[in-house]
Amino acid sequence: MEMPEACPVCHQTYEPEPGFYYGAMYISSGFSTAVLLGIGFLLYYLANDPPLWVYVTTVAVAVLAVTPLLFRYARAVMLYGVGGASFDPRYLSR
């Protein structure tokens, strides 16, 4: 959960204001829902509609496994979408 205050390369601040990342919880929730629905559809069509416990177990394990990734991507989406950060290709090669 800890983040540096700013990017060591381009000095972009990572927290524009206190509590900035509360909104990222909603983005992360959306990502989790997408994972849940994706796995649900895959199980339904590829595993021929298995019993309920297979859905619950598979979705729970998958969501837990990707939560650290979703957490970081949700913060990145928040920072770029709401926080005013912008991509600068000059920093790509460093």
Of 67, 75, 14, 77, nearest to 36 by C-alpha is 67
Binding piece for Zn ion, criterion CB under 5 A, among 10-18, 25-33, 47-55, 78-86:
10-18
Query: Does 3 help bind Zn ion (rule: CB under 5 A)?
Result: no
Q: Between 7 and 61, name the residue whose CB sits nearer to Zn ion.
A: 7
Cα separation, 19 vs 22, in Å, equals 6
Site for Zn ion (CB under 5 A): which residue of 1, 2, 3, 9? Answer: 9
Q: Between 26 and 80, name the residue whose CB sits nearer to Zn ion.
A: 80
Angle at CA of residue 9, ends 6 and 10, nearest 5°: 70
